[in-house]
Chains A and B, each alone.
Chain A
Amino acid sequence: MLFTILKFVHVLAAIIAVGFNATYGLLIGRARSGSADGREMRFALQTVKVMDDYVANPCYVLLLLTGVGMVHAAGYPWSLKWIHGSLALLIVAFVLAIGFYTPTLRKQIAVLESRGVSDPEFQRLSTRGAVLGGVLALIVVTIAALMVFKPS
């Protein structure tokens, strides 16, 4: 029963965290066709920041904790490729998200508020954010594949 509860929370946290992440590109992309004063873009970036800080990132922490809990509860050895591989990738994703994506987002909001949507630094930060988002998506899809195919 404990394993089933941990798995339920794990799956739910994965759906929320990754699903929320998947909306960012769409929200920011649509805001690009907004007005020249950047109000839609400001709203989009601030909303993404709230979603990331208060929902997605805490869900990733929960994902890690429930994942480790399931490994412990089921007695899986850490030497299994899909377990240590996914754990390593999750740590890489977390470092990229906290260390690079979140500061980029914060800078984007600051530059937008002070210099507007057409500022070259804002454009550069937007490109960086899009590249980081793509890399994070690739890592997360690889983790999902490891969880399903379970290579030993």
Chain B
Amino acid sequence: MLYNVLKFVHILLAIIAIGFTSAFGLIIGRAAKAGGDGREMLYALRAIRLMVTIAHGCFVLLLLTGLWMIWEVGFPFSFKWIYWSLILFAIALGTGVFVMAPSVTRRIEILSSRGPSDPEFIALSKRAATLGPILSVIALIIIWLMVAKPL
């Protein structure tokens, strides 16, 4: 019963965390095509900053419930799907916390003070647009590992 409860919470957390982060590209893409004064972009980045905070909280709980499930069932850490998903998860979370989240905050600051045509804003937006799909591929691989469970 405890395992099922943990699994249910784990799945809900994955839905919020990965679902939220998957939406960023679409929201930013639409904001980039909106008004030239950057008002929609500012709104989008502020909404994304809030979503990033929620998603990162969910990612931490995802890790904790995942580790608890491993302990509960007694899966060894030598299983490929467990250690690879943990390594990939650490890379993704590290990139999210130390690169993507500060980038959102910095872009909000630049956009508020210097506008959307500022070179630093454009450079940060391009970097986020490159990192976003890489993080999505990592998320896809982790989901595959969770579903297929290669030993």
Contact = CB atoms under 8 A, between A and B. Distances in A.
Interface of A: 4, 7-8, 11-12, 14-16, 18-23, 26-27, 30-31, 34-35, 39-40, 43-44, 46-47, 50-51, 55, 141, 144-145, 147-149
Contact of B143 (A11, A39, A44): A11
Contact of A19 (B23, B27, B143, B147): B23
A130 B43 CA distance: 20
Contact of B18 (A15, A27, A44): A15
Given A8-B143, A39-B35, A50-B30, A15 B8 contact: no
A60 to B, nearest CB: 13
A20 B24 CA distance: 10
Given A30-B43, A47-B30, A148-B11, A16 B19 contact: yes
Contact of A39 (B39, B144, B147): B39
Contact of A8 (B8, B23, B34, B147): B147
B8 to A, nearest CB: 4
A40 B19 contact: no
Nearest to B3: A148
Interface string B10-45: 011011101110110011001100110001100110
B143 A144 contact: no
Contacts of A51: 23, 26
Given A4-B148, A8-B144, A43-B43, A22 B4 contact: no
A109 to B, nearest CB: 14
B87 to A, nearest CB: 20
Nearest to B42: A40
Contacts of A39: 35, 39-40
A51 B27 CA distance: 9
B147 A23 contact: no
A11 B12 CA distance: 11
Nearest to B37: A39
B56 interface: no
A26 B50 contact: yes
Nearest to A10: B147
Contacts of A50: 26, 30
